[in-house]
Amino acid sequence: MTDSKTVSAFIDQCKLNIFHYRIFFIGGSGYFFDAMDVASISFILPVLKTQWHLSNVQLGAIGSATFVGYIIGALSAGTFADRYGRKNIMIVGLILYCLSAFFCALSGSFYQMLAARCFGGLGIGTESVIIAPFLTEFVPQKYRGRFAGGMSGFISLGFVAAAIVGYLTVPVSPSGWRIFFGICGLPLLLIPFWKAVLEESPVWLASRGRLPEAAQVLSRIYRKTINSTEIISDTKQLSLPHWGEFFRTQHSAMLATSGLSFFLMFGYYAFFTWLPQLLVMSGESVSSGIYASILPFAAQIPGYFGAAWLIDRLGALRVAAFFLVCSVLTALALSINPSVNMIKYSSILLALFVNGVMASAYAFIPFVYPARFRAMGTGMTASLGRTGAILAPILIGWIYNYGGSSGAFGLIATELCIAVILVLTILPQVKNY
């Protein structure tokens, strides 16, 4: 036993292999389809406004509904994953999300759509909150930043795919938006592949005292025999985690990460949920508004992957601070001059910078928490953060009635300033990572 290593230490001494690349693309595909579904509503709202005669506040409610379900899914998924394992919870989330997309396609009224989007959020929250804390536990520490940041980069690809699919389907016919939702449900076909490739986290298995199973997983990953005597648990506490212990020991980390997540998600979804509709309300046609949104959505790609490349070189907090400051300056410029051309072109920069912050957050937030509370803490952070995503579309719809596009971008700039303060002052005091 003197030569035994913790599972994390064992993984840190190993190299990446084909298994890691497979789970990288599985995690990326999960983020991709989650993002495509979330972004889909941005391109459908302008059509629903006309077909169902909805107000701006009702449009905002539909845009926020996903995140109501997300909070429930993220909270329950984090708890169940820390208690019962990560793999099956992630797959259940994918199933729920796909079914909800089909329900959205069949919706015939405002309230049916509202319920379907809430149900979809339950699946998205269940799945997406598990991806980073689950899959990064298989990866050596020196690669975790770029691994997590790279996986989250698929979110940007999902938004771009949503823009392209939306442009090709929504304006084509009155039922084009239903086809769009149907396409969002197709990842249901990925479930057999996910089940075949994914392994349960050996870090989690060891934390539950199931060292023989953890050794078997490591043996399959690295294709060599690893005995249970060669590894030990990362933690000596083998009792099931519970909320009382979590709040007592992790309250500082939770407040810091949840605060950042709230303001970041507010700015992110205030911008991306309303971008096509802001262009339409500024005088563009529905087709032109969707088409003009493709470049800003595409700008997420260099934002995510550029940040992922920088994270392991400069540190996640430094990268987050840089991209946040750039986001604030761009939003301020848009609030001063919210012309159609300014929105079209400056929103490209805003999309790039905001998504650079997102990649940084996905990289470091799970590891603010110890393995025992990693899924629970990430789920709590994501849930509290998504309250910002709930409020953002509604508040933007309300503030537009009084301040127009200038007021909308001014609100985004203001709340991102608060995120800058958190990154520069409070988060560096959290020592776990």
Q: Summarize pLDDT for 55-91 with one digit per residue, the tens.
A: 878 887 888 888 788 888 888 887 788 778 888 889 9
How many Cα neighbours within 13 Å face the side chain of 326?
Answer: 19
Report the C-alpha gap between 302 and 152 in whole angstroms. 12
Show Cβ contacts of residue 358 under 8 Å, excluding neighbours closer than 6 positions. 152, 155, 264, 268, 303, 304, 307
Confidence bin at 220 (pLDDT 50/70/90): very high
pLDDT(234) > 70: no
pLDDT(160) > 50: yes
List pLDDT tens digits, range 382-415. 778 778 877 877 787 788 777 777 888 888 888 8
The whole-angstrom distance between residue 114's C-alpha and the CA centroid of its chain comes to 21
Report the C-alpha gap between 392 and 387 in whole angstroms. 9
pLDDT(433) > 70: no
List pLDDT tens digits, range 257-267. 888 888 888 88
List pLDDT tens digits, range 81-117. 877 888 888 999 999 989 999 999 999 899 999 999 9
DSSP state of 367: G
* Average confidence score pLDDT of the chain: 83
List pLDDT tens digits, range 332-388. 988 888 787 887 788 888 888 888 888 888 777 777 787 777 778 887 887 787 788
Give the count of beta carbons closer than 10 Å to the beta carbon of residue 190.
16
**What does the pLDDT read at residue 430?**
56
Percent of the chain with pLDDT over 90: 19
R_g of the chain computed on alpha carbons: 21
Nearest alpha carbon to residue 367 among 317, 293, 420: 317
Confidence bin at 2 (pLDDT 50/70/90): very low
**What does the pLDDT read at residue 219?**
93
3-state secondary structure of 299: coil
List pLDDT tens digits, range 166-192. 888 988 888 999 999 999 999 999 899
Question: What tokens were used for 365?
Answer: 């937030």
3-state secondary structure of 369: coil
**What does the pLDDT read at residue 426?**
63
Give pTM, 2 decimals.
0.72
Mind giving me the DSSP string for 225-241? Answer: ---GGGEE-S-S--SPP
Mind giving me the DSSP string for 135-178? Answer: HGGGS-HHHHHHHHHHHHHHHHHHHHHHHHHHHHHTTTSTTHHH
Q: Among the residues of 299-373, which ranges form H helices? A: 300-314, 316-336, 340-364
